[in-house]
Structure 1
Amino acid sequence: MSARADLASYLILMGIPDDGRVRAENQGLLRRPTYTFFGTASYLDYLRAAFAGAQEIWLGPPAGPMDLKVKAGPMVNYLADPDIYSIALGKAERIVQAMGRPCLNSPAAVLRSGRDHVARALADVPGVVVPRTERLIASGPADLARVIAERRITYPLLVRPLGAHGGERLLRFETREVLETLVAGWMCDAAVYVTEFHPFIDPDGMYRKHRLAVIGDRVILRHVIIGDGWLLNADTQAAGTEADEAARLGSFEADLLPKIAPAVAEISRRLGLDVFGIDCHLDDEGRMLLFEANACMNFLARTVPPPNMWDAPVEAIRTALLDLLADPTRWRCCVGARAPVKGTPP
């Protein structure tokens, strides 16, 4: 391994959402509010001490010329959702191209990581089922149903707004008739993602969603959410499933990882990202049903006080991330492994 770089010399590419909106939370009388920027890589919240002294560059609307004075070190692109930060990512890519420095999670790769682009890029990866996903725009639910029929997208299907994560405003429709009768303002004259739903119930009648952290060439199982319904998140975790999850976390490296490693390596190569997450279902043979793959996922949040079953994977992810950040020679831009996503414009 080459000498570790000093993270204080790094340039962090940050951004303002295209719509200029962030979440402000009141912290009490005469205290400054806190602001949440959705659609970022999220890990800086947990690694701030390591980046002490690094330079932040804030990009975003309006589009236009830039006049920057920046440090000479490597760059880290912290913007992760192309549907939220398309303007900032475009500016970030111009900076990367002009300066010719190493950049973790290149803006160009992130710009190609929308749900529809990812679905097309990964459609033929061996061992992976990738549901068809289309980005559509319509005047309302009835018009959306018409467009879906024209595109021959099959039911049941999932509909969600762009830039939404964690099951937010995610709706499932069994038939066209149900979709046509829906009243949802966010579907009117706005782009949405439409995804064909694939059943993934396990033989024991439970549903399982695995979150994989892909950090360079490392693949770490962050958690397994187990529930009795298809929409899985921390709030829908079924009671009494802790032992099952702990067993899966403990056996992952020896059991499932060797089976899925080639598929994950190919996913990583096609997406061209250095750090990203995969939410998926995995059966016992390692066959994967992909839910999403992007750079937005949070791996380092600790929502349960230690000790617990997630301490080990969180620490493994943290260590792997710091090691990768400190060694730009391992980044895709430096090893020549960045690959364009198929089916998208250059």
Structure 2
Amino acid sequence: MTEGKIRVGFIVGNDADRVIQFNQDALVPVQGNNDADRVLDLCGEGRFDWTRLHIAPSYFRKARRWDTSKIDVLWNMVSDPDQNPETLRIIDRFTGELDIPLINPPQAVRQTRRHLIPGRLAGLESVRTPQTLLLRNPTLDRVRRRTEETGFQFPAILRRTGSHNGEVVGVFDTAAAIEGVYGDRRHEYYLTEFVDVRRLDGLYRKSRFFFIGDDVVVRQHIVADAWNIHGGSSRDYMAKTPHLQDEARQMLVGGFDALPAVTRAALQGIRTRIGLEYCGLDAYIDPDGGILVFEANATMNFQPDFRNPKTQYNRASVAPAVAAVTKLLYAKLGSRATKT
């Protein structure tokens, strides 16, 4: 610790970037990284200080190295294994040579690829995760064979690996309908069973949670009239429907402890199975309190902007997030002290 503060080293990087920026003020690409540094900033300057450690696939071919002698905890922000597999391999080596506690080790991040999540969460009570297939060099015969062998059910959502923010190729009713990607050897795709989660009011709902250490933080609850729901698509719809804003406000202000017991248990089960100390979850909570998982990974951003005057209730997520991050970092520091 320096001057009584825990010093955090945030590891960032991207496979597309070969130039390492040792200058803390230089801009670096952050595709496939999260915004955990912005969450730490919410904690104030009294307890924590942080520095950025930019890692690229070329790191070990360079003469210069990062000085980690004053760092107490490392935090890996490189979180998309589809976009940044090379960088994650380098981070594995980089952190493996150091005796410093690490949040989100690369080997755990790799296990959050979309097609692996259903298997990791299999058997959890009150948790449903639609099957996802990873398609490499897809052809009609291969896709038909895979879907038949696995019991995969159409309709299905098709997206490129490494895509986020609601970016999809489309929803398709049959294997033949996705012919536009057949023969594509350049890209890989995820094919995910589509589950229609409309409530009786005809609307779609999505809740975002963050797993931070042992805690679950409610970050967002949004509602829209289209299945591909995200912050942008729901903003206008919710703005003209006050009762939906009230629904979201109630969930954010109530937080994790106000959720039904079955929901809390399901979320904690997911958190344990995922195995990351900082991770986002997008999900649907059904009327019985069960969870349908949309995605779970560390690439999700907390986005502590709160610019929309009609959704200021989202600020209720800050206090539990700050408490969880603080607890996590002190626990990490304690684990280092125990080793020494």
What TM-score comes out, normalization by structure 2 length?
0.81
Query: Any idea what the Cα deviations from partners look like across 1:74-100, whole Å, max 9, x if unmatched?
Result: 211111111122111112122332223
Instruction: Say if 1:96 and 1:33 are closer, same or farther in 2 by CA, change over 3 A.
Output: closer
Contact 1:139 1:190 in 2 (8 A): no
TM alignment of 1:32-51, pairs within 5 A: 36-45=29-38, 47-48=40-41, 50=45
Matched, 1:20 2:12: no
| Deviation larger for 227-236 or 242-251 | 242-251
Matched, 1:321 2:321: no
Task: Give, in angstroms, the shift of residue 65 of structure 1.
Answer: 5.8
Matched, 1:260 2:247: no
Task: Give, in angstroms, the shift of residue 21 of structure 1.
Answer: 9.0
TM alignment of 1:91-102, pairs within 5 A: 91-102=90-101
SS for the counterpart of 1:14 is strand
Matched, 1:221 2:218: yes
TM alignment of 1:180-329, pairs within 5 A: 180=179, 182=180, 189-237=186-234, 238-239=237-238, 240=241, 241-256=244-259, 258-305=261-308, 308-328=312-332
SS for the counterpart of 2:189 is strand
SS for the counterpart of 1:115 is coil
Q: Structure 1: give runs of 5+ residues left out of the alignment.
A: 23-31, 336-346
SS for the counterpart of 1:308 is helix
Instruction: Say if 1:121 and 1:61 are closer, same or farther in 2 by CA, change over 3 A.
Output: same
SS for the counterpart of 2:222 is strand
**Partner of residue 107, structure 1:** 106
| Deviation larger for 272-281 or 97-106 | 97-106
**Partner of residue 342, structure 1:** none
Contact 1:324 1:330 in 2 (8 A): no
SS for the counterpart of 1:159 is strand
**Partner of residue 77, structure 2:** 78
What TM-score comes out, normalization by structure 1 length?
0.79
Question: Equivalent pairs: percent with the same residue?
Answer: 26
Task: Give, in angstroms, the shift of residue 56 of structure 1.
Answer: 2.9
- Structure 2 residue identity aligned to 1:200: V
Matched, 1:155 2:154: yes
- Structure 2 residue identity aligned to 1:37: V
Aligned residues: 320
**Partner of residue 119, structure 2:** 120
| Deviation larger for 42-51 or 187-196 | 42-51
Q: Provide the rounded CA distance (Å) in 1 between the counterparts of 2:145 and 2:26.
A: 43
Contact 2:203 2:224 in 1 (8 A): yes
Contact 1:119 1:133 in 2 (8 A): yes
More helix by share: 2
Contact 1:60 1:85 in 2 (8 A): no
SS for the counterpart of 1:225 is strand
Q: Provide the rounded CA distance (Å) in 1 between the counterparts of 2:298 and 2:193.
A: 22
Q: Provide the rounded CA distance (Å) in 2 between the counterparts of 1:156 and 1:129.
A: 17
Task: Give, in angstroms, the shift of residue 164 of structure 1.
Answer: 0.8
Q: Provide the rounded CA distance (Å) in 2 between the counterparts of 1:5 and 1:39.
A: 32
